[in-house]
């Protein structure tokens, strides 16, 4: 018997024993890229320079900013949640945390709102690897920055935590930031657009950080505000995207077009800071304003923890 025949016979024997024992070859990591796309009620892309978007009862909204942090990303398959090992890139992704940035500082996105400038760079994807290839039955991720990272000093934090536009000083990082404009006349007008709205969402630790002190644990925060987003359904990562439906987020939010008669500031603004602390700051910045979008994210406004099903994210075409 030749050496080649002996080698082939040995290989066949090894495979037969493995099959008999029920063992399988170790799966190789599969590279995945998860695309995200923000849209309005009509499916139009929420992007700098876009006009006449349908948001919060308005039909003439214009994007000004949209950025959000996500972490703990998983793909769903056959009843399992498979971790996505996020690839560190030194810019947008680090240690499982990703900054998705949909603004490019053009058009209305060039306006600096409350000192938080936008950037020309954008990032609309999450890149990583998973232990098992598809097909997948959905995707899951958490919106926000983990407690262990949210209070890292801005000047020494690694990217993407060093984004000045997402920092909120002693109150930690903003989980997401949304700004939109409309030419609707409001307040005293007279600026780039006459009406703008800021929706800012972060964890809420009541008065614990008023003097710059950092809470000892997440349990010390009155409202963690880190919604776990789960989207079930056949998900082809190569041809589909995670749609961020801004109109669904703002369903019930008070604007001049919503029929809810909001009280505007003197310069024509409606702002929600998520809110500034755990207490309601009155009907205009408390439950009647900020509280409207919490249920849409599947979060209780009272506790900042999970409650109900989210309606903001879904699967669709890029």
What pLDDT is recorded for position 79? 93
- How confident is the model at residue 61, as a pLDDT? 93
301, part of any domain: yes
The pLDDT of residue 6 is 45
> Which residue numbers in the chain have pLDDT < 70?
1-26, 184-194, 206-213, 261, 263-268, 273-286
On whether the CB atoms of residues 146 and 71 are closer than 8 A, the answer is yes
> Which residue range is the domain that position 139 belongs to?
28-316
Q: What is the pLDDT of residue 53?
A: 97
In a domain, 6, yes or no: no
Per the domain annotation, does 10 fall within a domain?
no
Q: What is the pLDDT of residue 15?
A: 42
- Domain membership of residue 12 (yes or no) is no
Q: Is residue 8 part of a domain?
A: no
Kindly state whether residue 172 falls inside one of the protein's structural domains: yes
CA 301 vs CA 66, 138, 172, 174, 307: distances in Å:
22, 26, 19, 17, 9
Report yes or no on 14 lying in a domain.
no
pLDDT of residue 287: 72
- The number of angstroms, rounded, from the C-alpha of 123 to the middle of its chain's C-alpha atoms is 12
CA dist., res. 146 & res. 62, Å (int): 31
Split into its structural domains, the chain has a count of 1
* 1 inside domain: no
What pLDDT does 98 receive?
A: 98
């Amino acid at each position: 018997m030749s050496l080649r025949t002996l080698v082939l016979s040995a290989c066949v024997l090894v495979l037969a024993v493995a099959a008999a024992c029920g063992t399988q070859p170790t799966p190789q990591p599969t590279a995945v890229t998860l695309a995200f796309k923000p849209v309005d009620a009509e499916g139009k892309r929420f992007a700098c320079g876009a006009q006449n978007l349908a948001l919060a009862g308005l039909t003439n909204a214009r994007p000004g900013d949209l950025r959000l942090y996500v972490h703990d990303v998983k793909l769903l398959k056959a009843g399992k949640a498979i971790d996505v090992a996020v690839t560190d890139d030194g810019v947008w992704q680090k240690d499982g945390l990703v900054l998705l940035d949909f603004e490019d500082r053009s058009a209305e996105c060039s306006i600096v709102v409350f000192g938080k400038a936008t950037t020309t760079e954008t990032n609309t994807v999450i890149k990583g690897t998973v232990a098992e290839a598809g097909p997948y039955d959905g995707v899951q991720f958490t919106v926000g920055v983990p407690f262990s990272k949210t209070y890292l000093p801005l000047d020494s934090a690694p990217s993407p935590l060093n984004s000045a536009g997402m920092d909120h000083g002693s109150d930690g990082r903003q989980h997401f930031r949304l700004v939109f404009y409309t030419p609707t006349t409001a307040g005293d007008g007279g600026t780039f657009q006459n009406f703008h709205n800021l929706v800012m969402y972060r964890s809420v630790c009541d008065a614990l950080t008023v003097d710059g002190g950092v809470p000892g644990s997440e349990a010390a925060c009155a409202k963690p505000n880190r919604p776990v987003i789960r989207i079930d359904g056949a998900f082809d990562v190569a041809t589909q995207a995670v749609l961020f439906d801004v109109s669904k987020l703002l369903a019930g939010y008070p604007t001049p077009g919503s029929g809810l008669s909001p009280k505007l500031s003197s310069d024509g603004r409606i702002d929600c800071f998520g809110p500034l602390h755990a207490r309601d700051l009155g009907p205009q910045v408390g439950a009647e304003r900020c509280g409207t979008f919490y249920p849409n994210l599947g979060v209780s406004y009272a506790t900042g923890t999970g409650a109900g099903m989210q309606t903001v994210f879904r699967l669709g075409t890029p």
